[in-house]
Amino acid sequence: MEPDILELVEPFDLSDKVSVLTLLGKARHGADIVLGIESDDETLTAAQRLVEEYGLFLYRNGGRILFSDDADWLRRRVERKMSAGEFFGYPRCCVEGSTRYARGHIDDVGCEYVGYGERYLLDALFALRNHRYPAALDYRLHVPCDVRCIESIAMGKRIKAVLESFDKGIARQWKRRHRGMLERRLENCET
Ligand SMILES: [Zn+2]
């Protein structure tokens, strides 16, 4: 891997770094980043350079930038011919699961656990307490339909491999973020 990828994504926050690195590492075809309130120049410049140097395609929608390594993939999402879940490469079972719940949030990064996510959270806490929480899910980018979802576990493994190939520190931070959040929730339940 070219070492300057990490320099390029440096202005992004952790979840945006992970988002773009999993795309560059071919773990999926769609990614997004969120611009700051004052849509900062540094982030925009980095986004432009990703396009120029790594052949990505970009679509800016207000404070959000969508990226893909496939122009047609991006176009289908922009034209709403593809769901967000499909665009981001989430397993079909999880995308369908999330739409079954009225307030479903499949993309849990930075959002509160409500509806669909809450159900997953309870399952995850139970699994964690019984030492059955699949380690690969610490690397997830979406809320799985089930704590045992085979496709989510496989995706978690791909994300872990890709992140570690770029930077072991980022992989560790990402894992710690999910696991830490779950462990804090578990402690709150038990006390
Ligand atoms: Zn699933």
Q: How far apart are the CA of 131 and the centre of ligand 1, in A? A: 20
Q: How far apart are the CA of 147 and the centre of ligand 1, in A? A: 8
Q: How far apart are the CA of 82 and the centre of ligand 1, in A? A: 18
Query: What is d(CA 84, CA 154) in angstroms, rounded to the nearest whole number?
Result: 20
The answer to whether 127 and 144 have CB atoms below 8 angstroms apart is no
Tokens coding 143: 């809320």
Q: How far apart are the CA of 98 and the centre of ligand 1, in A? A: 9
**Is 184 strand, coil or helix?**
helix
For 112-160, what is each residue's pLDDT tens digit? Answer: 445 667 778 888 989 999 999 999 999 999 988 889 999 999 999 999 9
Q: How far apart are the CA of 120 and the centre of ligand 1, in A? A: 11
Q: How far apart are the CA of 94 and the centre of ligand 1, in A? A: 4
Q: How far apart are the CA of 113 and the centre of ligand 1, in A? A: 17
- What contacts 119, CB < 8 A, 6 or more positions away? 101
Q: What is the pLDDT of residue 103?
A: 44
Q: How far apart are the CA of 90 and the centre of ligand 1, in A? A: 8
Query: What is d(CA 130, CA 121) in angstroms, rounded to the nearest whole number?
Result: 14
Q: How far apart are the CA of 165 and the centre of ligand 1, in A? A: 25
Q: Where are the beta strands (DSSP E) in 4-95?
A: 30-34, 57-61, 64-68
Residue 102 has pLDDT above 50, yes or no: no
Q: What is the pLDDT of residue 81?
A: 95
Residue 83 has pLDDT above 70, yes or no: yes
More confident residue, 108 or 189: 189
Give percent of the chain with pLDDT exceeding 70.
85
The answer to whether 170 and 134 have CB atoms below 8 angstroms apart is no
More confident residue, 108 or 175: 175
Q: What mean pLDDT is predicted for residues 56-72? A: 94
Q: How far apart are the CA of 92 and the centre of ligand 1, in A? A: 7
Q: How far apart are the CA of 46 and the centre of ligand 1, in A? A: 33
Q: How far apart are the CA of 150 and the centre of ligand 1, in A? A: 7
In the structure, what pLDDT confidence band is assigned to residue 69 with cuts at 50, 70 and 90? very high
Of 46-50, 64-68, 101-105, 122-126, the least confident = 101-105
